[in-house]
């Protein structure tokens, strides 16, 4: 049984290392946090029992500390659980992003006594998400800029064509030489509007509903 237990513990340590995930337990009576070795590797600290205040110093900004304290306290008061991502900074100055999940443990009288949780390093994934968000924001900016400028140029061209049509009053094939470009400019302006709407749909700013096309 001792060998089986040691093998299970070894496998757990290996699994935590592969998943860049550490486990922790907070005793609500003493406010001491005990954690696994992998959590120490992630946070860049020597694993010793720490108070919750010492742990909170690792969290990057005062806003993040206040947010985490609020989330944690609410879970304790309600006897529930929570999941959240948090930006942190290690003692060596390296900034990391972590995913936290925790659950409150109660005693037989229903009083919260512990908080058990995991902490996973999601820095690479988060950086990729942030890079994609920046890229998307830049793309949307250029789409808006180009659409706006081309739309203004189309309106100017359309105005000159309509002015030429009114002043010259062409007929026959000469009239068609002005009518066709006017139609093309209008189609171009409509295409720009459609692209703008499509961008809003993709970003979720405009909701899309399925319409029943059946005839009754």
Q: Choose the final residue of a domain: 79, 96, 121.
A: 121
Label residue 20 by pLDDT band (50, 70, 90): low
Supply the pLDDT for residue 170.
Answer: 80
- What percent of the chain has a predicted confidence (pLDDT) above 90? 13
Residue 21 burial (CB < 10 Å; 0-12/13-18/19+)?
buried
pLDDT one-digit tens code per residue, 100-147: 999 999 988 889 999 999 888 998 888 888 777 777 777 777 777 777
pTM > 0.75: no
Q: Which residues contact 116 (CB under 8 A, 6 or more apart)?
A: 23, 24, 25, 26, 102, 103, 105
- Tell whether 215 is covered by a domain: no
Please give the angle made by the CA atoms of 47, 52 and 55, to the nearest 5 degrees. 50
Q: Is residue 104 part of a domain?
A: yes
212 occurs within a structural domain: no
Of 80, 83, 153, 154, the closest CA to residue 118 belongs to: 83
Q: Indicate the average pLDDT of the chain.
A: 80
Residue pair 192/151 in contact (Cβ under 8 Å)? The answer is: yes
Q: Are residues 8 and 115 in the same domain?
A: yes
pLDDT tens track for 150-160: 888 888 888 88
Position 195 pLDDT exceeds 70: yes
SS (H, E, C) 14-40: HHHHHCCEEEEEEECCCCEEEECHHHH
For 188, the 3-state DSSP assignment is helix
CB 78 within 8 A of CB 99: no
Per-residue pLDDT at 105: 92
Domain residues for 151?
A: 128-203
**Mean pLDDT within 8-31:** 71
Helices (H), 44-122: 52-56, 62-78
Domain count, the chain: 2
């Amino acid at each position: 049984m001792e060998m089986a237990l040691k093998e299970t513990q070894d496998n757990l340590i290996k699994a935590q290392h592969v998943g860049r995930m550490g486990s922790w337990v907070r005793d609500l009576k003493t406010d001491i946090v005990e954690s696994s070795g992998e959590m120490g590797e992630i946070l860049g600290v020597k694993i010793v029992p720490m108070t919750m205040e010492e742990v909170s110093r690792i969290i990057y900004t005062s806003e993040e500390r206040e947010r985490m304290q609020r989330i944690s306290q609410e879970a304790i008061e309600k006897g529930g659980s929570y999941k959240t991502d948090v930006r942190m900074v290690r003692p060596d100055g390296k900034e990391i992003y972590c995913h936290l999940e925790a659950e409150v443990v109660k005693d037989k009288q229903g009083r919260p006594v512990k908080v058990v949780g995991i902490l996973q390093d999601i820095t690479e994934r988060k950086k990729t998400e942030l890079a994609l968000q920046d890229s998307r924001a830049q793309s949307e900016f250029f789409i808006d800029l180009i659409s706006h400028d081309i739309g203004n140029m189309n309106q100017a061209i359309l105005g000159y064509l309509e002015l030429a049509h009114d002043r010259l009053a062409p007929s026959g094939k000469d009239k068609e030489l002005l009518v066709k470009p006017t139609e093309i400019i209008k189609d171009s302006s409509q295409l720009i509007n459609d692209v703008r709407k499509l961008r809003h749909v993709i970003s979720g700013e405009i909701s899309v509903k399925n319409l029943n096309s059946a005839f009754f």
